[in-house]
Chains A and B, each alone.
Chain A
């Protein structure tokens, strides 16, 4: 089993504001926003000339933007040419994978300071093309003629989970409600409203447009989420179970133990990195309610760091759909199979709970620019572990150990990292 032969730390991390930016901002604009944010987060002595290599995660600028050779371009924007610049692709785990390879590069002794990036601009093409581009990360020859879409594949996982463990739609609503609550505290999030604020906003708009008053007026978030205002996208998943279509970039500076202290007194060490794969086609998996790639990646990352699920105090998990957060919490070993929904219901995964999950708002409200997500998860962990999360989002205890979980496709790739102070 692998281990890191040299310690690796994050010494700077930042992101662009996530949102629907096209055409106001494009890949290179969002990348500069992320770079500036990351450069400003380095405490001291930052010099771009020290950076030796770029590891860039991007799913498919080819299909979204007709730009495919992205790494040298983004190295150019950062002023890094002629240093090596490589693009990493593993669907929605692209920048998690870029991060992993940056860690491997530093640990191997090849480099001392590197830049990790994630970029995706999804809104340049119409929604139906976004759906088709995302679907290209499934087993297109077999799943496309069957009608699979990403919401559809995760919905099929939800159906199986509901059948096997009695999970209810309300259990999934709880995930969404929590992640809206967190996103409302994140100035970089695409949606910065609680579910209650979303409801007020919708009521106001309905009144303004002279539309009939929704039946859920005066009701609870559950009434709203169970109504036609929250239509099915892929039964049993509804609109508010799905993450967003987002444009955004993120950037991280990684340093070896030999140089980390030059840049900060509070580096965040990446102590474990794990990656797993699974069959591309959902139908071919042994289990339809659990992701083997997550389990394999977690086992490697935990073994490398010497940590276990019980040591992890906060985590950013890949909630591309509400059911994915439930399944991740089980596969990562935080909860027994079928029991995560109980912990979620009891508030354990809220910001003030015993295991805060997705304090950033997650993919659900922070947004999900697919190839950026893995790097953006690490940005949130960097902020939380250094006690610098904005607004009222900072958890109330000192975070010593954290984890990120980045999934690609319908779970065919998973990249997991553990972080320690």
Chain B
């Protein structure tokens, strides 16, 4: 069970690979963190427990990146075919960084498809690049 797992970054990513966006909640003051923390930055409590986030949120800000990180050029993005780096405000309060995708790659290239405030939902992206283990990254898509 999730309660038995230690709060670590590795375990956060293991949950992502299982389609769960997990964070932690302070048992004393109720503050929530994603990725999870063992120390509450609000009340200094060290009693925190795993919680699952709904995966619903809105686009707080974004950029369509044409000159991308190597990891993304390996996924086929390039000048003229950008990907969307987004900051998403989760309905539970915290924000996360994520790749925002759409129905097709072409959809991602058009700035007109993105608006601050647009509702999004979680979509875990399986990234397969030759020569490395597949990874499961936090992504979002329009509702």
Asked if A237 meets B63 with Cβ closer than 8 Å, knowing A163-B116, A288-B87, the reply is yes
Q: Are A235 and B95 in contact (CB under 8 A)?
A: no
Asked if A149 meets B68 with Cβ closer than 8 Å, knowing A156-B62, A159-B62, A283-B96, the reply is yes
Looking across the interface, which residue of chain A has its beta carbon closest to that of B83?
A147
Give A147 to B85 CA distance when docked, in angstroms.
6
Q: Kindly count the residue-residue contacts between A and B in the assembled complex, taking CB atoms under 8 Å apart.
A: 113
Q: Are A156 and B87 in contact (CB under 8 A)?
A: yes
Task: Return B19 CB to nearest CB of chain A, in Å.
Answer: 15
Size of the chain B interface, CB-CB below 8 angstroms: 35
B7 within 8 A of A: no
Q: Which residues of B contact A355 (CB under 8 A)?
A: none
Give A102 to B33 CA distance when docked, in angstroms.
38
Q: Are A233 and B85 in contact (CB under 8 A)?
A: no
A212 within 8 A of B: no
A234 within 8 A of B: yes
Contact mask A145-158 → B, CB, 8 Å, 1/0? 11111011101111
- Which one of A127-135, A188-196, A311-319 contacts B? A127-135
Q: Are A234 and B63 in contact (CB under 8 A)?
A: yes
- Which one of B20-28, B45-53, B71-79 contacts A? B71-79
Give A163 to B60 CA distance when docked, in angstroms.
10
The one of A129, A131, A283 in contact with B97, judged by C-beta atoms closer than 8 angstroms, is A283
Q: Which residues of B contact A395 (CB under 8 A)?
A: none
Contact mask B71-102 → A, CB, 8 Å, 1/0? 11100000100111111100000111111000
Give A112 to B70 CA distance when docked, in angstroms.
47
Q: Are B60 and A148 in contact (CB under 8 A)?
A: no
Asked if A146 meets B61 with Cβ closer than 8 Å, knowing A132-B69, A282-B87, the reply is no
Size of the chain A interface, CB-CB below 8 angstroms: 37
A165 within 8 A of B: no
Q: Are A145 and B66 in contact (CB under 8 A)?
A: no
A22 within 8 A of B: no
Q: Are B9 and A288 in contact (CB under 8 A)?
A: no
Q: Please report B residues at the A interface, Cβ cutoff 8 Å.
A: 9, 35, 60-73, 79, 82-88, 94-99, 111, 116, 135, 137-138
Q: Please report A residues at the B interface, Cβ cutoff 8 Å.
A: 128-129, 131-132, 135, 139, 141-149, 151-153, 155-160, 163, 231-237, 281-284, 288
Can you list 22 residue pairs at the A/B interface with Cβ under 8 Å? A128-B73, A132-B69, A141-B9, A144-B69, A145-B135, A145-B137, A146-B137, A147-B83, A148-B69, A152-B65, A152-B68, A152-B85, A153-B63, A156-B87, A159-B63, A159-B116, A233-B66, A233-B67, A235-B63, A282-B87, A283-B88, A283-B97
